[in-house]
């Protein structure tokens, strides 16, 4: 009986702790874990808050500039005060299936994955919801880790927000130049007019500058930028005066 007890004590080895036990006993690990969980769920909480009328969301880039003392030019504007040409241009350029998908364009995403597996140069498959949550909650540098967060956040945002609210947030936080955020500030910055007065051409030029706003100037477009804007203008004309899901 005594021998059996001694063997049990020896086997259990109470003085020896596992790696998991040591990690959870560490204060820095518990703090880091808590911070990660907070960061994971903060976007969920903010998504619910931003669904409320009257809230004017701030992107990570805007917050970063403000915290470091850099200027931020953003004037929030409702969709009723935006030229309908903006709706057409942005959707035809950025996300043609915006009104029909649920945050991500599965067909486009599968095509991009297939191209990548075949060794082709990767191309973008980001929808407007994906770009919106990326601007609001994540970082600008492309990475697989960012996509892991971006996709579920986009699906959740599309579920919680109406298409109209999603689009409104997107065009009010998109960066059009260094420190220039949102369609109203961009319209005044480049064309010295409010967003409500933008012409079809101006709306198209602003839209095609979005993939690389710090190197593309809508007010002084290059030949290639003008050509791209022309393509978007034609697509916008075919889309009608208003995009149905934004009415």
Residue 123 has pLDDT above 70, yes or no: no
Walk me through the domains of the chain, giving residue ranges and CATH numbers. Answer: 42-48+59-246 (1.10.3810.10)
- H or E element that contains 180: strand 180-181
Model confidence, pTM: 0.82
Q: What's the average model confidence in pLDDT over 126-148?
A: 87
Here the contacts of 81-84 (C-beta below 8 Å, separation 24 or greater) are 81/184, 81/194, 81/195, 81/196, 82/171, 82/183, 82/184, 82/195, 82/196, 82/198, 83/195, 83/196, 83/197, 83/198, 83/199, 83/203, 84/241, 84/242
| pLDDT, tens only, 158-208 | 999 999 999 999 999 999 999 999 999 999 999 999 999 999 999 999 999
Residue 10 has pLDDT above 50, yes or no: no
């Amino acid at each position: 009986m005594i021998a059996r007890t001694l063997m049990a004590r020896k086997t259990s080895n109470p003085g020896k702790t596992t790696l998991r036990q040591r990690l959870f006993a560490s204060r820095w690990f518990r703090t880091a874990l808590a911070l990660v969980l907070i960061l994971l769920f903060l976007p969920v909480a903010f998504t619910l808050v931003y669904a409320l009328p009257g809230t004017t969301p701030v992107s990570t880039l805007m917050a970063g500039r403000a915290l470091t003392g850099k200027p931020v030019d953003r004037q929030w504007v409702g969709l009723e005060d935006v030229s309908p040409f903006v709706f057409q241009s942005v959707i035809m350029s950025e996300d043609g299936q915006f009104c029909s998908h649920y945050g991500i364009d599965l067909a486009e995403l599968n095509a991009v994955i297939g191209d990548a597996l075949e060794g082709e140069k990767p191309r973008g498959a980001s929808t407007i919801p994906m770009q919106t949550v990326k601007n609001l909650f994540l970082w600008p540098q492309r990475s697989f880790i960012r996509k892991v967060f971006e996709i579920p956040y986009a699906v959740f945002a599309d579920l919680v927000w109406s298409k109209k609210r999603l689009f409104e947030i997107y065009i009010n936080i998109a960066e059009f130049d260094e420190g220039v955020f949102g369609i109203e500030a961009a319209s005044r910055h480049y064309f010295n007019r409010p967003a409500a007065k933008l012409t079809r051409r101006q709306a198209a030029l602003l839209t095609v500058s979005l993939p690389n706003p710090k190197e593309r100037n809508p007010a002084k477009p290059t030949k290639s930028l003008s050509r791209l804007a022309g393509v978007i203008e034609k697509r916008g004309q075919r889309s009608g005066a208003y995009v149905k899901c934004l009415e």
